[in-house]
Each structure stands twice: as C-alpha cells, then as structure tokens.
C-alpha cells in the first residue's frame, strides 16, 4: 500500500477555484499574505496519515514502539500531535528535552540520544524523567552513572552501536558505517557490558540501539541491521547470561523530494523489519525483544512546504536566469549543505506552462545561497508566491539567523483552518541576547 512519504505533495494539496494551490483547505497565496513570507506551512492531515501508516504497518509486531525523531522538526504543537498519535519522542539535546517537557509530554516515553551529551544535559534529562538514555561512548557511561548516583536513581539505558552497514545516501547523513562518530564499535561492546555489570550499578542495560543513516530507499539495509543487532544480543546472552529486551533500529526512511526519488512505502519497510525480527530471533533462539523505531524525516518531511515571495531577477547574458526570493540558506540550509533538490511550483500559477529555465536564489550574501538550480517553471513575476515542497524535515530545524535574517514563522493547516505554531522572530528577539559591555559605551 502506498504511503504519503512516496508523494512529493501533502495529501490535501489541490488547485482551488482561485486557480491557486491549496493545502489543508487553505489557499497558499492567502496564507502568504496573512502571515508573510518565508513561511513554513505544515499539513496536519499528512503528518497524521504518516503516523497512522506506521502504526498500521507494524500492527502485527507484538511489541513495537514508535518514537518521532524530533530533530526533524520540533515545536510544542508537534509534541502534542505525537502524543495524540501515541508516538514517543527521540530527543537529542537539552533544548529538545525542554521543548517536550514544556509541552506537557509524558517524559517516560522519551529517549535521549547523542554522541556528546553534556553533564548539564544528562543531569537535566534525569531530572525531567527521560525514559531511556541511549549511551554512545565510554565517557558518557561513567558520567551518566555518576549523575544517576547523585540523583539516587537507576537509569534505563541502551548502548548505541555502530553496526557497520553502509547505505546509499549522502555521505554527511550516513551514520551506521564503521568509521562513524556515533556509537560503540562492536569490538568494544563487551567492555561496555562488563563495566555496566561490574561498576555502574546505577545503570540498567535494557537493549541496543543503532541508526544506519537518513533518506534511505533500500529495504535490505534494515533486514541486515536487525541481523547484526540480534547476533550481538545472542552473543551477550551466551557470554554473560544477560538478556536484552529492547532493540532500537533508528530511523532513516526516505521521502520523495523530486521525481528522481523512489522511496519505499512504510508497509514495505515494516514487512522487512518484522520478517527480519522473526527470522533472526528464530535463528538465534532468543525471545523477540521490544522493537523501537525512530523516524523523523518521513513523519514530517512531506507535510511541510515553504512559501517565498519572488523579488528581483537577473538574466546573465548568455548565462543563467536568477530569480531571487525573500529567504534562502537561513531558512533552508539543505541545498547548500547537501546539494539537496526540491520540487517547486508557483502557488498563484500552478497550471502555467513550465517554459523557462530558472535558478532560484536566496537573499543571503553568499554565491552558494541557491535554493534550486536550473529548474523549469512558468515565467515568474515579482510578487509571485513560490512554493517549495517537502521542506518539513530538517528545514526549520536547521534554520539560522545568518545575515541577521529573522527566523520564519510556521503554520499548521487543517480543514481550512490555519494556526501559527511558531511566530516569526522579531528584531527585538533577534537582539535580546546581545550585550554591549559598559566599557564600549
């Protein structure tokens, strides 16, 4: 069965009677006028369709837990949706923990991840009652045990391992290959298990965690990943008599940015994972552990679009035509960072003939600030509303104030309603942490 991550556009996208693009029953041109641009627009129906596909696809799995990887896009409103959809949260910084906690999220359903969690972050995580910590390295094992002891607590932990699986994605977003900054090398896993058993009495080892990469189109890497993890579980059981009950296989499922992308459906991924869990637990004669998955991009990526207003343009003699918009690498760093490509339409002219090759440039003082290179679009006029699809994941969350450009607003749309979920930053907020030392006055 097809799932929403396999389409470029949010599931509610249509052309309305004004001839404009509409998402969640809201006219994108009207949204741009009402809230200003650049504007992130998130379609609630698409997010919920994806979370429900995940739940449905895995329903035959005895003990499955969905965790949304909040790094993809996190606001308090998103935490609420995840809570309603019975997803937990995979968090990776003190700021993400704070956001979840202040949205009222049940912190026992959160996992804290990361390769260099600080003392303050770990301390805060335990104070907030984060459910599980995925420990990445030896330094963190010792630190976390000390903190847990000082708070008189026993912490449930997973060990993050490097499974040695390469997947074909951009090298910056591969994580599970052997030469990676994340996780315990398998050759040193026993040392960690022994330390927990013999010295770290405030840590309760409940399972293993891995994440092989992001924007993955192949199913088989998940099959192999589960195999690697189960083999380790069997080995640890035989060698130490320790039974590990939890396996977290990370996130990574891809989405469709352009027609070139061919992501698989959530049902296909689920089938592969469920099969692999069955085959490998039979093979190694271990009881099926609880399975955790933590998708980020596939949950919110397709639901989000970014709206810009077209400004100046320039035709280089015998060269490219550049069309500038009122945002750029500060609201979407992915094109300049990963050469990411997007599908673009003109929200007030979606049916126009794509007769012109154009390069959409951002407004930042940098030649590399190009949002889309050499794409075919109808002729753009100043003031047009330009819509970039599939910007929901790692767009706003990686945004910056480069050039002191203000952070965009984000709205959630559903059934003709639009609600602000992130206010546009103001100039006052931009400068609120700036201090002029007395001696400069």
Catalytic residues: 365
Rounded Cα–Cα distance for residues 42 and 350 (Å): 19
Binding site for ligand LLP (CB under 6 A): 69, 71-72, 90, 113, 173, 175, 211, 214-215, 250-253, 294-298, 334, 338, 393-394, 398
Nearer to ligand LLP, 35 or 257 (CB): 257
- Contact at 8 Å (CB) between 284 and 239? no
DSSP 64-100: EEEEEEGGGS--HHHHHHHHHTT-EEEE-SHHHHHHH
What is the distance between the alpha carbons of residues 111 and 285, in angstroms, rounded to a whole number? 28
User: What DSSP string describes 152-209?
Assistant: T--EEEEEEEE-----SS-GGGB-SSSS-SSSEEGGGHHHHHHHHHHT-TTEEEEEEE
Helix (H, G, I), strand (E, B) or coil at 431: coil
Cis omega (within 30 of 0) for bond into 419: no
- Six-digit token string for 315: 């035709």
- Minimum CB separation of residue 295 from ligand LLP in Å reads 4
C-beta of 44: minimal distance to ligand LLP in Å? 19
Which residue's CB is nearer to ligand LLP, number 124 or number 222?
A: 222
Shortest Å, Cβ 294 to ligand LLP: 4
Q: How far is the CB of 167 from ligand LLP (least distance, A)?
A: 10
The packing angle between helices 266-283 and 44-57, to 10°, is 30
What is the distance between the alpha carbons of residues 291 and 320, in angstroms, rounded to a whole number?
A: 50
Measured from the CB atom, the residue of 299 and 405 that comes closer to ligand LLP is 299
Closest to ligand LLP by CB, 48 or 297: 297
Instruction: Say if residues 148 and 196 touch (Cβ distance below 8 Å).
Output: no
Please give the Cα distance from 308 to 302 (Å, whole number): 18
* Cβ–Cβ < 8 Å for 182, 250: no
User: Rounded distance, CA 396 to CA 94, Å?
Assistant: 18
Helix (H, G, I), strand (E, B) or coil at 228: helix
CA distance 338 to 237: 41
Place of tokens 């499974």: 163
323 forms beta bridges with 313, 360
Of 211 and 280, which has the nearer Cβ to ligand LLP?
211
Shortest Å, Cβ 278 to ligand LLP: 23
- Concatenated DSSP letters for 377-409? ESPP-TT-EEEE-S-SSSSGGG---GGGPPPPE
Is the CB of 35 or the CB of 342 nearer to ligand LLP?
A: 342
Find the shortest distance in angstroms from Cβ 134 to ligand LLP.
7
Supply the minimum distance, in Å, between the C-beta of residue 213 and ligand LLP: 7
Between 145 and 298, CB nearer to ligand LLP: 298
Dihedral of the CA atoms 296, 412, 46, 395 (nearest 10)?
Answer: -40
Least CB distance to ligand LLP at residue 296 (A): 3
28/81 with CB nearer ligand LLP: 81
């Amino acid at each position: 069965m097809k799932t929403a991550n396999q389409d470029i556009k949010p599931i509610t996208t249509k052309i309305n009677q004004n001839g404009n693009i509409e998402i969640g029953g809201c006219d994108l041109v009207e949204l741009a006028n009402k809230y200003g641009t650049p504007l992130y627009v998130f379609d609630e129906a698409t997010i919920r369709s994806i979370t429900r596909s995940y739940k449905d696809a895995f329903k035959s799995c005895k003990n499955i837990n969905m965790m949304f990887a909040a790094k993809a896009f996190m606001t308090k409103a998103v935490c609420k949706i995840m809570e309603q959809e019975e997803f937990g949260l995979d968090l990776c910084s003190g700021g993400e923990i704070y956001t979840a906690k202040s949205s009222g999220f049940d912190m026992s359903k959160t996992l804290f991840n990361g390769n260099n969690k600080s003392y303050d972050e770990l301390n805060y995580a335990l104070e907030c009652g984060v459910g599980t910590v995925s420990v990445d390295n030896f330094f963190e094992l010792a630190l976390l045990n000390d903190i847990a002891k000082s708070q008189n607590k026993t912490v449930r932990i997973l060990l993050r391992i490097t499974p040695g699986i390469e997947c074909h994605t951009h090298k910056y977003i591969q994580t599970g290959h052997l030469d990676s900054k994340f996780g315990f090398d398998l050759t040193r896993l026993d040392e960690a298990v022994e330390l927990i058993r013999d010295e770290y009495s405030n840590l309760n080892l409940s399972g293993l965690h891995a994440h092989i990469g992001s924007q993955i189109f192949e199913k088989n890497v998940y099959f192999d990943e589960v195999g690697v993890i189960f083999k380790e579980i069997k080995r640890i059981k035989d060698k130490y008599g320790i039974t590990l009950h939890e396996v977290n296989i990370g996130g990574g499922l891809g989405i469709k940015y352009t027609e070139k992308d061919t992501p698989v459906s959530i049902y296909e991924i689920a089938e592969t994972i469920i099969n692999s869990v069955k085959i490998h637990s039979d093979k190694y004669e271990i009881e099926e552990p609880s399975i955790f998955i933590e998708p980020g991009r596939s949950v919110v990526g397709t639901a989000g679009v970014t709206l810009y207003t077209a400004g100046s343009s320039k035709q280089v003699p015998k060269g490219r035509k550049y069309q500038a918009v009122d945002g750029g690498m500060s609201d979407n760093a992915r094109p300049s960072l990963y050469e990411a490509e997007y599908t673009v339409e003109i929200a007030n002219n979606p049916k126009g003939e794509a007769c012109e090759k154009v390069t959409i440039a951002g407004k930042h003082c940098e030649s590399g600030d190009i949002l889309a290179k050499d794409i075919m679009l109808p002729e753009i006029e100043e003031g047009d509303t330009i819509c970039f699809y599939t910007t929901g994941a790692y767009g706003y969350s990686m945004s910056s104030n480069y050039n002191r450009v203000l952070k965009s607003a984000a709205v959630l749309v559903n059934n003709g309603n639009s609600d602000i979920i992130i206010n546009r930053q103001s100039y006052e907020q931009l400068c609120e942490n700036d201090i002029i030392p007395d001696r400069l006055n």
